[in-house]
Amino acid sequence: MKLFALVFTIFITVSMASLTPTLAESYKSMAPKGAEVYFIAPVDGATISGPVVIKFGLKGMGVAPAGVKKKNTGHHHLIIDARLTDFNASIPKDQNFRHFGGGQTQTTVKLAPGKHTLQLVLGDHNHIPHDKPVMSKTITITVK
């Protein structure tokens, strides 16, 4: 009987191990086809004086606060003068990568005079971009 228990334990351990790769690939949240994130404001190429009001648009998905796991939702991330390179990890959090984990759909930022690039990327409850990533095109604005 003891031997049976041991064999059974080994069997379970081996099956779990063989399942791990599948689990590792499915940690990402799926995005529905046609989901789209975009800037309602500002428009690409705009020249702005003073603080920049940025409005986030989202089609085909909903907004949920960070930490809330709900199908076909995510929260906004605003990327300023930077580019996201790793789409399989949590989006960095600093001055260039701003999180709106409260579910906000707009913000106001103060930017130094000159040209700046802006991009929106949706992240899931763990701040990880979806599969496929839902991101806007990068826009360029000039701050006077």
How would DSSP label each residue in 26-67? Answer: T-SPB--TT-EEEEEESPTT-EE-SSEEEEEEEESSEE--TT
In angstroms, give the least distance from the CB of 79 to Cu ion: 11
Residue 85: name the closest of 75, 73, 96, 76 by CA.
96
Closer residue to Cu ion in complex, CB, 9/106:
106
Is there a contact between 129 and 121 (Cβ–Cβ < 8 Å)? yes
Report the site for Cu ion in 119-138 (rule: CB under 5 A).
123, 127
Question: How many chain residues are in contact with Cu ion, going by CB under 5 A?
Answer: 3
Q: Which of 78, 97, 99, 119 binds Cu ion (CB under 5 A)?
A: 99
Of 35-54, binders to Cu ion (CB under 5 A) are none
Q: In terms of CB distance, is 136 or 143 closer to Cu ion?
A: 136
Coil vs helix vs strand at 129? strand
CB 76 within 8 A of CB 37: yes
**Options 12-20, 56-64, 97-105, 107-115: segment touching Cu ion (CB under 5 A):** 97-105
Nearer Cβ to Cu ion (127/143)? 127
Pairing mode, strands 97-99 and 62-63: unpaired
Binding site for Cu ion (CB under 5 A): 99, 123, 127
